[in-house]
Amino acid sequence: MGFLRGITALSNLRSRLGQQTTQLGSLRWLQSQSASDLDLRSQLKDQIPEQQERLKKIKSEYGKVQLGNITVDMVLGGMRGITGLLWEPSLVDPEEGIRLRGLTLPECQKLLPAASPGGEPLAEGLLWLLVTGKVPSKEQAVALSKELQSRSAVPDHVYKGIDSLPVTAHPMTQFVTGVMALQVESEFQKAYEQGMPKSKLWEPAYEDCMNLIARVPAVAAYVYRRLYKDGRAIPADKSLDHAANFSHMLGFDDPKMLESVRLFLLVHSDHEGGNVSGHASHVVASALADPYRAYAAAMNGLAGPLHGLATQEALLWVKSIAKEFGEDVTTEKLKEVVWKTLNSGKVVPGFGHGVLRKTDPRFTCQRKFALKHIPDDPIFQLVLKLQEVVPPILTSLGKVKNPWPNVDILSGVPLNHFGLSEDRYYTVLFGVSRSLGVSAQLIWDRALGLPIERPKSVTLDWLEDYCKKSA
């Protein structure tokens, strides 16, 4: 025993000595390092310029190199031109623009049931079209309206969740918080947990999507009333259609405002699947996350300034021009403003598009509406001038693929005219509209049993090696 104890004591001493030597070594090594060597951020900062140059070089020297059916340009260029998603409710043609289930926007306006003869389509009829591909009768649209109303009660905890945020939180943050609070009632999640087979999952997906569509207007209206009005929610009016009731809950009952909201819901409802919000919802749902989670993901993408936040940015921008230079600002002054925006490193909001190569038909549709209902609105007049001034300037940059106006430069103008003037709220309106298209596809995702999405990614090292070998 004594011998054994002696051996243990010796080995403990050796290991303590060893530790001390190592600690001394570490200390010396530490002393030899500069503060920036030990700081992750500084290390990263040093690496970035080199990697940026590398990326540029790969793009310019090897952009056309093929990787199977695609090119290096496509891998590095936000997957432009890669057909990789199935999306049923709509399709965007670069020249012609959006078709909702094969119908152009003017065709939708003509064929879908309206609240009054010749008026803008009912959102319910639009939803029917997006889900089924068929133009509904007025009776079918009314029946769907009743169905949505019967699903529209929002649990109190949703409002409490929103109330827990500071009022300074962006309206989209408050809205998405409300959407996630709705998620606790997901039928899809329950059904999955209970072992529902994949082939039947479209049924709880349908339940969640319809509940979501029915409830988001009240959640959105609550955010609006909390931020900009007296904080008291306006109860739903069951005699009104989906869009008109949304407008009513926001606090606007002018019949022309109701028409503006119906049009807004139409033009923003869907834009095929590759845009950030559509794509985000699709990929999240592909993991069999429920429709609330998928829609919330879509909304977080929509809140990006290059996507849905452009609605806010465009209105803010045009109004700031009107405020600074007056509504009858000269063309020369407008050119200066556009250049100033560009020179400050910003994009011109409401112009350009990732897929479209012509003026956005959603812009044209709203222009027609504005000419009919608010022809003398000064902000509308300013947008018409910008429509002339901006495209030649963007074209002169030599890199912009589409210098023409998109949906966002005009979509807020009629609503602003009728009193909804809070620019920062506009992306929430866009989000309520997108619930229609995103949900229609989420139902079909599960009905068709689409698989989990898993595209291949590569590293810069891999890409460079591959390009060099191919060259």
Q: Which residues are catalytic?
A: 307, 353, 408
Q: Select 190 or 357, whichever has its Cβ closest to ligand AMX.
A: 357
Stretch that binds ligand AMX, among 180-188, 244-252, 340-348, 442-450 (CB under 6 A): 340-348
Which is closer to ligand AMX, CB of 215 or CB of 367?
367
The mark string for 127-166 relative to ligand AMX (x by CB under 6 A, - otherwise) is: ----------------------------------------
CB of 310 to ligand AMX, least distance (A): 3
Give the nearest distance from C-beta 147 to ligand AMX in angstroms: 29
CB of 395 to ligand AMX, least distance (A): 11
CB of 350 to ligand AMX, least distance (A): 5
**C-alpha–C-alpha distance, residues 21 and 311, integer Å:** 64
Contacts by 367-370, CB closer than 8 A, 24 or more apart: 367/410, 369/120, 369/259, 369/260, 369/263, 369/414, 370/410, 370/413, 370/414
Pick from 121, 125, 352, 391 the residue near ligand AMX by CB under 6 A.
Answer: 352
Judged by beta carbon, residue 186 or residue 441, the one nearer ligand AMX is: 441
Q: Between 73 and 147, name the residue whose CB sits nearer to ligand AMX.
A: 73
Which residue's beta carbon is nearest to the bound ligand AMX? 352
Cα–Cα distance measured from residue 419 to residue 262, given in angstroms and rounded to the nearest whole number: 16
Of 156-164, 257-265, 302-310, 437-445, which part binds ligand AMX (CB under 6 A)? Answer: 302-310
Question: What part of residues 230-289 is at the interface with ligand AMX (CB under 6 A)?
Answer: 275
Q: Based on CB atoms, which residue is closest to ligand AMX, 316 or 400?
A: 400
109 scored as a contact of ligand AMX (CB under 6 A): no
The secondary structure of the chain, three-state, reads CHHHHHHHHHHHHHHHHHHHHHHHHHHHHHHHCCHHHHCHHHHHHHHHHHHHHHHHHHHHHHCCCEECCEEHHHHHCCCCCCCCCCCCCEEEECCCEEEECCECHHHHHHHCCECCCCCCECHHHHHHHHHHCCCCCHHHHHHHHHHHHHCCCCCHHHHHHHHCCCCCCCHHHHHHHHHHHHHHHCHHHHHHHCCCCHHHCHHHHHHHHHHHHHHHHHHHHHHHHHHHCCCCCCCCCCCCCHHHHHHHHHCCCCHHHHHHHHHHHHHHCCCCCCCHHHHHHHHHHHCCCCHHHHHHHHHHHHCCCCCCCHHHHHHHHHHHHHHHHCCCCCHHHHHHHHHHHHHCCCCCCCECCCCCCCCCHHHHHHHHHHHHHCCCCHHHHHHHHHHHHHHHHHHHCCCCCCCCECHHHCCCHHHHHCCCCCHHHHHHHHHHHHHHHHHHHHHHHHHCCCCCCCCCCCCHHHHHHHHHHHC
Q: How many other β-carbons are positioned within 10 Å of the β-carbon of residue 360?
A: 28
307, 319, 417, 434: residue in contact with ligand AMX (rule CB under 6 A): 307
Smallest gap from residue 200 Cβ to ligand AMX (A): 34
Between residues 288 and 400, which has the closer beta carbon with respect to ligand AMX? Answer: 400
169 near ligand AMX, rule: CB under 6 A? no
Nearer to ligand AMX, 183 or 311 (CB): 311
Minimal distance, residue 438 CB to ligand AMX, in Å: 14
- Please list every residue from 370 through 399 that binds ligand AMX, using CB under 6 A: 394, 399
Select from 121, 136, 350, 414 the one that contacts ligand AMX (CB under 6 A).
350
List binders of ligand AMX among 395-414 (CB under 6 A).
399-402, 406-408
**Of these, 308, 391, 414, 431, which contacts ligand AMX (CB under 6 A)?**
308
CB atoms within 10 A of CB 389: 17
| Closer CB to ligand AMX, 113 or 352, in the complex | 352
Residue from 119, 133, 354, 378 binding ligand AMX (CB under 6 A): 354
Rounded Cα–Cα distance for residues 347 and 408 (Å): 13
Per rule CB under 6 A, count of chain residues that contact ligand AMX: 22
Angle at 315 (CA atoms; ends 309, 318), nearest 5 degrees: 135
CB of 214 or CB of 338, closer to ligand AMX: 338
Contact range with ligand AMX by CB under 6 A, out of 117-125, 136-144, 145-153, 343-351: 343-351
- Does 348 bind ligand AMX (CB under 6 A)? Our answer is yes
Region of 151-159, 184-192, 304-312, 324-332 interacting with ligand AMX (CB under 6 A): 304-312
The binding site for ligand AMX (CB under 6 A) comprises: 275, 306-308, 310, 342, 347-354, 394, 399-402, 406-408
